[in-house]
Structures are given as structure tokens and as C-alpha cells.
């Protein structure tokens, strides 16, 4: 029987396929550049909405090209302080700028474009950040959003305020002509949307 919305063994299988990066991958990247193969280059500017303790931010910062920057927004000053310490521990603090405040407000003051935006704030805020995120991701860039299936509640009739907000976000993103979006049923649902035009 499934546990949550995805079988645990499927979750583990997909996670086992995830690239953890190493020196060998850099060699392949160099080959791709030298021989003209189309490869996805590393990001220069990433925006994360919802820092929490800095775990996902560390992975994002490690994906940056040299000189790149992760801007991450955390509502709680106390939580941002924990994240700052963790960024120091993981060796990425020099690449990370933490902004404290409500993402729905802070994002409107940021200048794009960003190569990647990762949205994982309180779910009720999802609709309010959608338009500012679309405006600030570059053409060809990605808007990635976590928890878009919300334990499957998005498909059920009775809905919490959070579920209704996620449904609104998903529906608006799916209909936006500037974006091509899909939902990957991994863990609690991940939306991956590519911007195809301004």
C-alpha cells in the first residue's frame, strides 16, 4: 500500500538516482563545453523563498557557478540565524545572502532575473508570490515549488485554507502562457515550471 502519496520504495529509488556531484562530473562538463555538447550550465543567481534551517539552500548554493549567489528569504529572524550557522558549517556562507521578512513582501523588492527560483514558503502564501516569481525568473529559467500535492489533499473535496491556496497556485501556473509547468509526484509533489517568454 502507498504511504503518503508515493510508495516509499519509489521515493528511495528516485532519491538514489540523484546526482551528488563530484570531480568526475566536472570532467564531463568540461568535455561538453570543449566539444560543443548541449549541457545545462550551473546557475549564477538563485532565489529561495523559505530558508528554514538552510538544508535545501546548501544544495542550491553548491550548484552555483563560482561567483554566483543564492538569495534566500526567511520569515523568522531566529530561524534565519540557525540557517546562517548551518551555511557556515556547510561551507557555502560566502555565496548566500539571507533576507529576513515575509516572502510575499520581500520578493517584490528584489531585482531579477534569477536562473532558478525555489518556492517553499507557508502554503497560504503561494498565490501571492506566483506573479513576482514569474516576473523575476529569466526566460529559460526554472520556478520549482515544493508541496504542491499537499498529501493528496489538492484532489479531495474538503479543503483547508492551505490546500485551497496550493490549488489556486497550481491552476494559475498551469494556465500562464509564459510558463510550461508540470507536477512530479515525488514525495509531497514538486512543480517544475520553465519560463518560455516574458
Q: The whole model's pTM is what?
A: 0.83
Q: Is 52 left (phi over 0), alpha (psi -120 to 50) or beta?
A: left
Instruction: Please give the pLDDT value at position 3.
Output: 46
Q: Rounded CA gap, 188 and 193, in Å?
A: 16
> Phi then psi for 20, rounded to 5 degrees?
-95, -10
- List pLDDT tens digits, range 33-49: 788 775 556 789 999 99
Instruction: Please give the pLDDT value at position 43.
Output: 87
Cβ atoms of residues 117 and 181 within 8 Å:
no
Instruction: Please give the pLDDT value at position 158.
Output: 74
Instruction: Please give the pLDDT value at position 154.
Output: 94
- List pLDDT tens digits, range 49-97: 999 999 999 999 998 988 999 999 999 999 999 999 999 999 999 999 9
Cβ atoms of residues 121 and 49 within 8 Å:
yes
Q: Which residues contact 58 (CB under 8 A, 6 or more apart)?
A: 86, 87, 90, 92
Mean pLDDT in residue range 133-142 = 95
Amino acid at each position: 500500500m502507498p504511504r503518503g502519496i508515493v510508495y516509499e520504495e519509489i521515493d528511495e529509488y528516485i532519491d538514489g538516482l540523484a546526482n551528488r556531484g563530484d570531480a568526475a562530473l566536472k570532467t564531463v562538463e568540461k568535455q561538453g563545453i570543449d566539444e560543443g555538447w548541449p549541457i545545462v550550465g550551473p546557475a549564477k543567481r538563485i532565489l529561495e523563498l523559505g530558508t528554514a534551517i538552510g538544508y535545501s539552500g546548501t544544495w542550491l548554493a553548491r550548484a552555483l557557478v563560482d561567483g554566483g549567489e543564492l538569495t534566500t528569504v526567511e520569515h523568522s529572524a531566529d530561524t534565519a540565524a540557525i540557517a546562517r550557522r548551518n551555511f557556515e558549517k556547510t561551507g557555502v556562507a560566502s555565496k548566500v545572502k539571507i533576507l529576513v521578512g515575509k516572502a510575499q513582501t520581500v520578493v517584490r523588492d528584489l531585482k531579477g532575473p534569477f536562473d532558478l527560483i525555489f518556492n517553499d514558503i507557508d502554503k497560504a502564501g503561494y498565490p501571492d508570490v506566483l506573479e513576482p516569481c514569474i516576473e523575476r525568473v529569466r526566460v529559460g529559467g526554472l520556478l520549482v515549488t515544493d508541496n504542491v500535492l499537499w498529501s493528496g489533499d489538492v484532489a479531495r473535496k474538503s479543503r483547508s485554507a492551505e490546500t485551497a491556496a496550493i490549488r489556486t497556485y497550481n491552476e494559475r501556473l498551469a494556465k500562464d502562457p509564459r510558463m510550461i509547468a508540470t507536477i512530479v509526484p515525488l514525495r509531497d509533489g514538486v512543480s517544475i515550471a520553465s519560463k518560455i517568454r516574458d
